[in-house]
Amino acid sequence: MPLTLENGRPADCAGRLDKEIRCYDLLDKLGICYQRVDHEAAMTMEACQAIDLALDAVICKNLLLCNRQRTAFYLLMLPGDKSFRTSVLSKRIGSSRLSFAPAEDMEAYLDITPGSVSVLGLMNDKENHVQLLLDEDVLKGEFFGCHPCINTSSLRLRTRDLTEKILPAIGHAPQILSLEES
């Protein structure tokens, strides 16, 4: 079944999770125009390839990382086709060894589950436990794609709306990095 690009929130939000609806509420409140594609659960970047085509935007890889002590948390946002090395990133940001944050920390800080990590989850981090690390290559595109905190929908947003409206509204300033391919 072909994926259909829709404008804005679903006409009927029945059966959708509150965390997804909160994403649409935030975007609508900020006056941000966006497109949406509903699809089967997308757990991997490979599963996102057809979604990328429907959105006409590259879905970003969003990874929640933490230091060994689980006292510092980072949401790394980079193009889906770009790889990185945690050891290099750790040095760049001055953190002890980084690893993927456990599911319970994703839930506690961002109200998301594995496979649904999204920059929009930062709206749930009211106490700023999570630092956004943004690869500069994300900023080069006019549009980017992300989940609305659930991996059965994907959104196409203007990159400028992320940096100029969304992040200031939710109180998360990004640390912009130039990550080398590994």
Domain parsing of the chain, residue ranges: 6-175
* 96 or 177: which leads in pLDDT: 177
CATH number (3.40.50.11260, 3.40.1500.10, 2.70.170.10, 3.90.960.10) of 6-175 reads 3.90.960.10
- Concatenating the DSSP letter of every residue in 7-31 gives ESS-S--TT--HHHHHHHHHHHHTT
Helix and strand totals (H; E) in the chain? 6, 9
pLDDT for 172:
97
pLDDT over threshold 90, residue 47: no
C-alpha 39/C-alpha 46 separation (Å) is: 14
In the numeric block, the tokens 């940096």 are attached to 163
Q: Which of 54-58, 129-133, 145-149 has the highest mean pLDDT?
A: 129-133
Residue 34: phi and psi, rounded to 5, are -150, 160
Report pLDDT digits (tens) over 136-163. 999 999 999 999 999 999 999 999 999 9
The average pLDDT across 64-76 equals 96
State the number of CA atoms in the 13 A half-sphere of 166 facing the CB.
Answer: 26
Stated pTM of the model: 0.92
C-alpha 180/C-alpha 143 separation (Å) is: 22
Report pLDDT digits (tens) over 117-128. 999 999 999 999
Q: How confident is the model at residue 131 (pLDDT cuts 50, 70, 90)?
A: very high
